[in-house]
Amino acid sequence: MPGDEEQQKRALRAELRERRQLLSDSQRESASEGVAAQLHELIRSHGARSVSCFLSTTTEPGTRRFVREAVTAGIRVLLPITRADGLLDWAVANDSDEVSEGLYGLPEPTGEVLGPIAVNDVDLMIIPAAAIDRTGTRLGWGRGYFDKTIGSMEKCPPVYAVIYDSEVLDSLPREVHDQPVDGIVTPTQTIALSPARH
């Protein structure tokens, strides 16, 4: 029987998913431009030479433009590949737009597959989310891939989650396995947080 937190999360995810579906193409395009600009600035401010990011789905704030531009600028970008055991493999992004369909129909890179520990070398992690609150609590989509990855890293770099402006919330339900993030990137702003690590 799912607990209260899990039920609250489920209801919130459904609401957020529905809200994302309602965005127009021009709103999505504008969000993609804004996110790319915010992420480039974030990389510059952290002096990052190697980052992990994700290939956005059609309803997520777009990251693909950023990934292409970062690769062209000589930044090493690792992209996640979902595995059936709940861990993430990684592939180094190239400047092609070629993607394959991974587990759950998510867009994934087609390059050479590196194991889960490849992400230990990045200077900055950029991850997806459904919503983030002001304490750094992240609401993911319920599969736990990024919580497991962040929780298993010996030395975790700063973690920033990409969401729409309306998804920065005052508070979110939090469970023991939920890993906090260090910051939020939206199409209009980057917010550094002081998360309460477990």
For residue range 110-164, list pLDDT tens digits in order: 778 898 999 999 999 999 999 999 999 999 988 889 999 999 888 889 999 999 9
Asked whether the predicted pLDDT for residue 1 surpasses 50, the reply is no
Tell me, what's the pLDDT at 154? 83
Question: Domain for residue 121, yes or no?
Answer: yes
Asked whether the predicted pLDDT for residue 194 surpasses 80, the reply is no
Question: Domain for residue 74, yes or no?
Answer: yes
Instruction: Output the pTM of the full model.
Output: 0.91
Question: Domain for residue 197, yes or no?
Answer: no
Question: Domain for residue 147, yes or no?
Answer: yes
Question: Domain for residue 21, yes or no?
Answer: yes
Question: Domain for residue 175, yes or no?
Answer: yes
What confidence category does residue 195 fall into, taking pLDDT thresholds of 50, 70 and 90?
Answer: low
Q: How many whole angstroms separate alpha carbon 60 and alpha carbon 66?
A: 13
Tell me, what's the pLDDT at 158? 95
Range of the domain at 77: 4-192
Would you say 90 and 78 are in contact if contact means Cβ atoms under 8 Å apart?
yes
- Structure-token pair, residue 138: 């992240």
Question: Domain for residue 198, yes or no?
Answer: no
Q: Residue 19: what residue type?
A: R
- The dihedrals phi and psi of 68, each to the nearest 5 degrees, come to -60, -50
Considering only CA atoms, which of 93, 99, 174 is closest in space to residue 132?
174
Number of domains forming the structure of the chain: 1
16-68 pLDDT tens trace: 999 999 999 999 999 999 999 999 999 999 999 999 999 999 999 999 999 99
CATH number at residue 86: 3.40.50.10420
Question: Domain for residue 67, yes or no?
Answer: yes
